[in-house]
Amino acid sequence: MTDRDDLADRLARLAAAPPHVADFGRRRLIRDAARFGLAAAAMAALTRPLAFAPAFAADAAALPDITSVPDKLKGSGVVRVCSWGGALQKAQRAAYFEPFEKLCGIKVIESEGPDAVKVKAMVDTGNVEYDVGEFDRSDVINLQKKGDYWEPMAYDLFDTQNIDPAYRYKYSIDMLPYAQIMAFRTDAFGGHKPNGLKDFWDVKAFPGPRTMSSGTGGLVPELEFAELAAGKPMDKIYPIDIEASYAELAKIKPAVVKWWTAGAMPAQMLADKEVVLGTAWNGRIDAIQRAGAPVEIAWDQGMLRTDVWAVPKGAANHENAMKFSAFITLAASQARLSMLIPYGFVNSGAAAMLPAERLAKLPTAPAVRNRLFLYSSQWWADNFDAVSKKWESWILE
């Protein structure tokens, strides 16, 4: 594969990445482009539609204050944290890196670009370069299948009374919830509002073009939504019946004018009225709403997804990494991030610290969370290959 072919492949994967990952990947692509004669300005223009640069909703003075922490979270030395850079890491720095240093006495050394493949290499060679990183949980699961690559989480340090067991795993903890939801044009149906996946599938009551997630480029087809459209309860989605879900997708397939392969695509199509209904990430819809697009989220039967903190096996400062992970999942820490960037929280105590208007935009708000189901990283880690193989033939039928 040539450098240019590699760049094209990385650009395709960038298109499919969640917003904060895409932001990091775009900046790295621009840097690398200069190596083989593609001007950075040209690459910036090429990748700009894929970038996600969320506006900050508050300045530091408006954030919930953190004045004290449990003694068990205090210490000394450093913790090396690897996140995704850009707007996300800027928000994380203000929300909890800086107060963690001040209140816990542990210095945060930042880096960018967590990579499970690199974690494997680091652990295999005994040269673990960072102590805690932000990952999709499926990466943690897949790597653990290959050997002993992660430290178990020290939950005696955490505020487990306010962190639901659904967010806690042996080798990682959820920390960055976002939602995959249905969104619609408010000017499309004469004042009627679709709500739930049966309405998405109902082209008579809610006519017009749709867009849904593709099954290529790192994305997966929305089999969960097909299950719900067929009447399956949210708490019975997994294990997914792959064949039945594809059969249900076939019913809506004629109305899907584009299977999106980039997070920016469904939001842009809704804003431009190319579609009247689409599945999308809630952060992307928030961005076009701020720009004035007449688009609304239908939260019912949406899918709650998260990133996790995980600590590589043999991390030099793994105790500090656990204290760090516990600190940033405190109620105030989580609320601070939700004020700065449109992501949710895993600590239920954060809800009381956020204004009502901000809560209404977050997928983890109590009034919203009960309308969503939790994405199963485990099921997808076990079934991704079978689902993807089926997609290759199904999309051509």
> Considering the domain boundaries, does residue 127 fall inside one?
yes
Give yes or no: residues 80 and 126 share one domain: yes
Give yes or no: residues 186 and 298 share one domain: yes
> Considering the domain boundaries, does residue 276 fall inside one?
yes
Give yes or no: residues 140 and 229 share one domain: no
Amino acid (1-letter code) at residue 296: E
> Considering the domain boundaries, does residue 296 fall inside one?
yes
| Overall number of domains in the chain | 3
**Which structural domain range is residue 30 located in?**
3-46
Give yes or no: residues 154 and 270 share one domain: no
Give yes or no: residues 223 and 279 share one domain: yes
Q: Which residues of 323-347 are buried (b: 16+ CB within 10 A; e: fewer)?
A: bbbbbbbbbbbbbbbbbbbbbbbbb
Residue 1 burial (10 A CB sphere; 0-12, 13-18, 19+): exposed
> Considering the domain boundaries, does residue 54 fall inside one?
no
> Considering the domain boundaries, does residue 153 fall inside one?
yes
Give yes or no: residues 331 and 318 share one domain: yes
> Considering the domain boundaries, does residue 372 fall inside one?
no
CB 380 within 8 A of CB 239: no
Give yes or no: residues 228 and 115 share one domain: no
The predicted pLDDT at position 49 comes to 41
Give yes or no: residues 231 and 259 share one domain: yes
Tell me, rounded to whole angstroms, the distance of Cα 361 from its chain centroid: 15
The predicted pLDDT at position 240 comes to 97
Give yes or no: residues 187 and 171 share one domain: no
Q: Which residues of 60-80 are buried (b: 16+ CB within 10 A; e: fewer)?
A: eeebbebeebeeebebeeebb
> Considering the domain boundaries, does residue 388 fall inside one?
yes
Give yes or no: residues 292 and 197 share one domain: yes
Give yes or no: residues 254 and 387 share one domain: yes
3-state secondary structure of 302: strand
CB 272 within 8 A of CB 189: no
Say which CATH number the domain at 107 has: 3.40.190.10
> Considering the domain boundaries, does residue 367 fall inside one?
no
Distance CA 119, CA 116 (A): 5
Q: Tell me the pLDDT of the chain (397 aa) as tens digits.
A: 555 555 555 555 454 455 555 555 545 555 555 555 555 444 444 444 433 344 455 555 589 999 899 999 999 999 999 997 777 788 899 999 999 999 999 999 999 888 888 999 999 999 999 999 999 898 899 899 899 999 999 999 999 999 999 899 999 999 989 899 999 999 999 989 999 999 999 999 999 999 999 988 667 899 999 999 999 999 999 999 999 999 999 999 999 999 998 778 999 999 999 999 999 988 889 889 988 999 999 999 999 998 899 999 999 999 999 999 999 999 999 999 999 888 899 999 999 999 999 998 899 888 898 999 999 988 998 898 899 899 999 999 8
The predicted pLDDT at position 140 comes to 93
Among 190, 174, 217, 117, which residue's Cα sits nearest to residue 305?
A: 174
The predicted pLDDT at position 301 comes to 97
Give yes or no: residues 128 and 98 share one domain: yes
Residue 179 DSSP one-character state:
E
